[in-house]
Amino acid sequence: MKKNIVFLTLLLLTKMVFSQAYNGLQKMNGVSQKVYFSASAGERARKILDNVAKAEIYFEKKLKVHPDYTLLVLSPSDWKIYAHPNAIYGIPHYLQDGRLVVASENNDFWKRNTPPVDKLPEAQVRKLRATYLDKNGQVNLTDFFDLLAVHELGHAFQKAAGMLGQRNWLSELLCNVMLHTFIAEKNPRLIPSLTVFPQVTVAGFPLERLKYTSLEDFEIYYNDIAQKNPDNYGWYQCRFHVVAGQIYDSGGLAAMNNLWGALLSHKQKLSDLELINLLKTAHPALDQAIANWKK
Ligand SMILES: [Zn+2]
């Protein structure tokens, strides 16, 4: 009995510490997920959760794992308290303690990386405006960045499965393959929001703004790129989105399932050659997409 009381006290204490951890934020009520958001970001949080919750159900069915995560939708001032200390405002990210962090407001990072409509070919401008125009008549990437919460959810699934991602670029690519597959299969009307910005960026990003471009660089300088070169990091992610689209278009749902299964079946770090062979056998679309990276 005494043991039970101690146990109960501990439970209460844990619960208290947990709720105190986000006591500057509002908790979303009436949902089974753990969701906290900044004042006046409730509507955005509901919109973002809508996709995340549907994606969670979808991935759980396909991958048979249950992730533990806490979705945080943050204003710039709350970001300073609850996000990764080295992540600039607007860059969505996942932390090992399960925090899945996204911005609640349009911001400098998104604006700076919005393709310059005055310098682009007419066809691309038309596509951008048709996809992302906001009520002020500006190209606004909010609808794209909101979808990235599902990419971060992909990291939570990889962690729950105990997956060794083999390479940083492959873990990131897998998250984008998961995101693209989910949107294509379950919410295809959002495909333009997900694909137009990365496609235009990859086609026309000013190369002088890129310090790193190869997959090898991404591996070696991952922390430097992610924390000190966010625009360069964004360019890599755009390329991973484009590659993920190519993988889905030629391999469908099977490509995601096969890549997931292949990575899960190896608990040791593979050599480059072993990894290439694994990707080849997992799905031809994967090998092809990686080979295309250098072209
Ligand atoms: Zn990621």
**DSSP string across 145-173:** HHHHHHHHHHHHHHHHTT---SSHHHHHH
Q: What are phi and psi of 99, to 5 degrees?
A: -70, 130
Q: Please, what sign has the CA dihedral across residues 207, 210, 215, 217?
A: positive
Cα of 137 from ligand 1 centre, angstroms: 30
Cα of 175 from ligand 1 centre, angstroms: 6
Cα of 249 from ligand 1 centre, angstroms: 21
How much is the pLDDT for 206? 85
How much is the pLDDT for 295? 66
Cα of 61 from ligand 1 centre, angstroms: 22
Cα of 274 from ligand 1 centre, angstroms: 23
Long-range contacts of 185-192, Cβ-Cβ distance < 8 Å, separation of 24 or more: 185/58, 185/253, 186/54, 186/55, 186/58, 187/51, 187/54, 190/143, 190/147, 192/127, 192/130, 192/131
Q: What is the pTM of this model?
A: 0.91
Strand partners, 133: 139
Cα of 170 from ligand 1 centre, angstroms: 10
Cα of 26 from ligand 1 centre, angstroms: 25
Cα of 177 from ligand 1 centre, angstroms: 11
Cα of 178 from ligand 1 centre, angstroms: 11
Cα of 120 from ligand 1 centre, angstroms: 28
How much is the pLDDT for 165? 87
Structural contact between residues 91 and 102, judged by C-beta atoms closer than 8 angstroms? no
Alpha carbon distance 103, 90 (integer Å): 5
Alpha carbon distance 92, 152 (integer Å): 7
* Token representation of residue 26: 């509002």
Cα of 169 from ligand 1 centre, angstroms: 9
How confident is the prediction along the chain (295 residues), in pLDDT tens digits per residue?
Answer: 444 545 544 444 444 444 458 999 999 999 999 999 999 999 999 999 999 999 999 999 999 999 999 999 999 999 999 999 999 999 999 999 999 999 999 999 999 999 888 889 999 999 999 999 999 999 999 999 999 999 999 999 999 999 998 999 999 999 999 999 999 999 999 999 999 999 999 998 888 889 999 999 999 999 999 989 999 999 999 999 999 999 999 999 999 999 999 999 999 999 999 999 999 998 888 888 788 887 6
Distances (CA, A) of 109 to 14, 113, 157, 167: 36, 6, 27, 26
Cα of 132 from ligand 1 centre, angstroms: 23
Domains identified in the chain and CATH numbers: 24-292 (1.10.390.10)
* Token representation of residue 210: 């890129």
